[in-house]
Amino acid sequence: MEKRERVILYSDLNNFFASVEIAKNPSLAGKPLIVCGDPKERHGIVLAKNEEAKRYGIKTAETVYSALKKCPDVQMVGSHYHDYKRYSEKVVAIYGRYTDCIEECSIDECAMDMTESTFLFGSGREIAEKIRADVKAELGLTVSIGVSFNKVFAKLASEMKKPDAVTEISREDFKEKIWGLPVTDLLFVGKATAESFQKLGIKTIGDLANSNESWISERFGKRGRQLRVYARGEDVEPVKSEKKKEDVKSIGNSTTLSKDISSKEDVKRWFYALAESVAARLRAADVGRANTVHIVVRDPELKFYSWQTKIPATALCGDIAKAAFELFCRQYPTDKKVRLLGITLSGFDYHVEQLTIDSLLEGEKSGYQKRERAEEAVAKLREKYGYSTVQRGVVMEDEKLNGLDIRGKKEET
């Protein structure tokens, strides 16, 4: 029996943060709009923008001051991550009407396997058009959807026509549609890799696809071979609707700050907020405790720094935040401000049971176990009554962090 061609959709919500703000306040529609740190103080950086703001040349991560010079009348709104998370969940629920095989790649992007769904709902393009219409009618958002026979081409298709569009790349026409594109358009081809390719005469996706496998392997190793596979349309990676414990190698979260910060107390508060998010994901993933904390920092010049440290295996927010903050204090230049912070955990141990002085002195429950129970109780309260029901004192000291739910960005590998 001949195997059926896969039907993969890849969705990308257009200008998601800005679009949610407009959906909440329709009077903003049609006006240049940016989501930024503090609209009243008129400083910080641009976190997101709509199509009208793009026409003025406004870019994500530039300063609000710069954006105002380009468009003095631009509308400015603060960021509301809990709303973005809520809208994202509603969009995924719409996808769930058509398939239960959904891979949430980020807060605004998903891959979906519609192979079996075509028996009920029509072709991949027809399903994509239905989803696009549903999202617009019910939530006031637009989405670009790519349709193809693998994930790599479906994602590439989703980027080819924006906003509010469906683009299909089939096995019959992918060479015509894709092979003439710059090699930088291919998933996972970064700037450095592209420069190396171009020095060797590989300028388009087609050049890579038609290159000699042994020659590519010799120069770029396993990564080069995989990129060549992607270029040739031979990617067979499945849509992963859920990750098995053993598949989860790291869990993390990062956030671009609403404005640059410099004081260590501000950095400490943000690390605690991030650690709350990462610890919650660690519990949800059920992969035990982590023994490695990795931090990433970006300065106002957009330069990235990253370091990691080993710690006694833990799943507790306090331990994670403390390790992250101490690592930051040891490594980050004291004269530089901070624009982005991130924490990633790895080195999971499913079976660890720490023996500490606390456990010897207290008998039945160790100090770790008591703190673990306390965090579990807090998690249950938040699940029932909302994330901002219970906040740490160190976070509440900053009114901009009080009640903030920064769990929106998903980073799990």
Instruction: Report, as residue numbers or ranges, the catalytic residues.
Output: 109
Name the residue type at position 75.
Answer: Q
Q: Mention every residue, 6+ apart, whose C-beta is less than 8 A from residue 15.
A: 48, 49, 50, 51, 163
Backbone torsion region of residue 204, taken as left when φ is above 0, otherwise alpha when ψ lies between -120 and 50, otherwise beta: beta
Residue keyed to tokens 């590998």: 413
H-assigned helices in 169-298:
174-178, 191-199, 205-209, 213-231, 264-285
* Dihedral of alpha carbons 284, 290, 292, 293, sign: positive
Spatial CA neighbour of 219 closest among 239, 201, 238: 201
How many residues belong to the chain? 413
Q: What is the C-alpha separation between 408 and 167, in angstroms, rounded?
A: 27
Q: 171 and 233 in contact (C-beta within 8 Å)?
A: yes
Q: 307 and 255 in contact (C-beta within 8 Å)?
A: no
Q: Tell me whether strands 250-261 and 338-349 are parallel, antiparallel or unpaired.
A: antiparallel
Q: What is the C-alpha separation between 362 and 342, in angstroms, rounded?
A: 35
